[in-house]
Chains A and B, each alone.
Chain A
Amino acid sequence: MTATPRKLSMKQRYAALTRDLDWDLSYVDPAEAFPYTTFEGITVHDWSQWEDPFRLTIDAYTKYQAEKDKRLYAVLDSFAQSQGHLQLADPRYLNAMKLFLQGVTPLEYAAHRNFAFLARFLNGPGPRFAALCQCEDEIRHAQTEIHTLSNYNKYYGGMHNWHAQHDRVWYLSVPKSYFDDALSAGPFEFLIAIGFSFEYLLTNLLFVPFMSGASFNGDLPTMTFGFSAQSDESRHMTLGLEAIKFLLEQDAGNVPIIQDWIDKWFWRGYRVTSLVAQMLDYMLPRKVMSWKEAFELYFEQQMLGGLFPDLSYYGIKPPRHVSQAMAEKDVLSHQVYWTLYQFSFAAAFTTTIPDEEHLDWLSAQYPDTFDRYYRPLWDKARRVVDSGGRFFYQGLPQLCQVCQIPMLFSEPGDPAMLCQRHSVYRGERYDFCSDGCQWIFDREPEKYVQAWLPVHQIYQGDCGGPTVPDVLAWYGLAEGDSGEYEGSVEQADWKRWHASPAERS
């Protein structure tokens, strides 16, 4: 007679497979084994207070993820076999996905690296295991995004060299430097920067617009990827919230340090979302919602209205400079796309003047600003095209030392006047696009003086050579990747693929 095998409850399994695998160090000094969790000034009294809301174990985790992968790859296969790319609303839609692949996918990869670091170097087994799962998620997202978008790479420009471009191209230094800033911080600042500010505070503003854009514009693979990542993202949100609450509850001395990090990382992340703002308002042929609506829903209502009242219990206030972000919602996307329009000769996507219907939509969405400030610019750009030209900026722009975006943002309250700020540190002048970026520089100037600013690097001769064609070759831009959409390789291909047999002959 054999004994019935004992079946553990979920809670017991979680304990057995995660925290019970931990042990107390006896012949190595804990300070030597975990050398990075004291220098930031954060105090943790009891690591066992970390609550894992999911009680996830590695066997359950791999089983769920394998099922999701199977579903995604089945969709990708059928999409490839049925020439699914021809069902897109319009090939211009893919400019949003080029930006996603070049700008966001490498951040998933970078995130996996730092969560692997946390999975080794946080003292408590609970947060270490949570970091391990998130590390696995992030590498899986990087891989599945690459595989999803590789379907388009066969037929469209701008997707063949995203990885090198992330390290080189001027507008991609914006997300890259943002993430490098977090990677080079300590483990607790990283948790607040990425775990909380990026994955909780701003995640809906970053991911939902891309995935909804895919759904509205006939991009079934990216939509399926979005669903596949969604359950991971909601777990990351919960973990980000758990991380901040854990740190706030551990010691009252942690509160001002964390407030400072929220202030910094809100503004850093918000500046990265400017790329999303222009994507929603200009790059999507079929609109989802305006940037202004997305900002009001996902940030003002959900975060300022929902999250921060809860955090005030711990003494946490809404981020510094948040009122400036709110004031920008009527101007942000227009300023950013106007910049991309005049610099797209050096980008791995195309731009074009919005058509009349699109301009009318923008007027309706932005009644206080569009007709007064931005429509006249597009009308003038149209006159240039009608007379046989195309406006491209003949030069390189001044960049913000912190966010690395060209200094295109306006003075708070005056859309017609650019914002110019500067600080002097050790006798050298540094320029900033906003009070937020200047404040971030002034608290850690030693860090930001090292910024690899694309324009300055070009002038130092570090980017392939002195001329624009030299730099574009160093960026790995090929024929058809860049510039104006009207008359582009992509437009010609699309017309040819959709021509009737009569038109073809």
Chain B
Amino acid sequence: MAVRAVGDYDFPSRSRQELYGDDQLVHLWWRNNMWFCAAACFRAPKAMTWGDFRAGMVDPLFSCDPDFGPRTRFEWSVDDQPVTRADSQTLAELGVGHKSLIACRSLG
């Protein structure tokens, strides 16, 4: 159903990708860890490599959990599709789009 309005009602999204230039919003969710109250939202370049995303965004956030360390192992998914990460691949190559959900589950 559509909005009932007194006149024409058509407005653009206030979060559309073009407002972020060559970047996009991405969400990061550690599924099986209640320490973080919610998934995070980052602004990341589409051309950012997975390795840079891990080092520059994932690790600083996850380090707020005292039980996280370099030996923590994860399995990853992008929008519910499993990914085998390759540090040199870009987010775009891994299928990450605007507001995609990058999720992980820690193992062991």
Seen from chain A, the residues whose Cβ lies within 8 Å of a Cβ on chain B are 35-36, 39-41, 186, 335, 338-339, 342-343, 373, 377, 380, 383-384, 387, 389, 391-399, 406-408, 416-418, 420, 422, 426, 428-431, 443-444, 446-447, 449-453, 455-456, 459-460
Contact = CB atoms under 8 A, between A and B. Distances in A.
Contact of B37 (A393, A447, A456): A393
Given A418-B29, A431-B99, A460-B20, A377 B35 contact: yes
- Most A-side CB within 10 Å, residue of B11, B13, B63: B13
A377 B34 CA distance: 8
B17 interface: yes
B69 to A, nearest CB: 15
Contacts of B25: 456, 459
B4 A395 contact: no
A396 B43 CA distance: 10
Nearest to A339: B37
Given A395-B61, A429-B97, A452-B14, A460 B34 contact: no
Contacts of B100: 429
Tell me what chain B mostly uses at the interface: helix, strand, loop, or mixed: loop
A237 B40 CA distance: 40
A224 to B, nearest CB: 36
Contact of A35 (B6, B29, B34): B6
27 contacts: A35-B6, A39-B5, A186-B4, A339-B38, A380-B35, A383-B66, A384-B66, A393-B61, A394-B60, A394-B64, A397-B39, A398-B39, A407-B38, A418-B38, A429-B97, A443-B1, A446-B10, A446-B11, A447-B3, A449-B11, A449-B12, A450-B13, A450-B14, A451-B14, A456-B14, A459-B41, A460-B19
A374 to B, nearest CB: 8
Contacts, number: 126
B15 interface: yes
B2 interface: yes
Nearest to A387: B66
Given A449-B15, A453-B14, 6 more contacts: A373-B34, A391-B35, A395-B40, A395-B41, A420-B101, A428-B99
Nearest to B36: A393
A393 B14 contact: no
Nearest to B42: A395
Contacts of B60: 394-395
B16 interface: yes
Interface string B57-73: 10011011011000000
Given A391-B64, A398-B27, A429-B98, A418 B12 contact: no
A416 B30 CA distance: 12
A449 B37 contact: no
Contacts of A41: 4
B89 interface: no
Interface in B22-36: 25, 27, 29, 31-32, 34-36
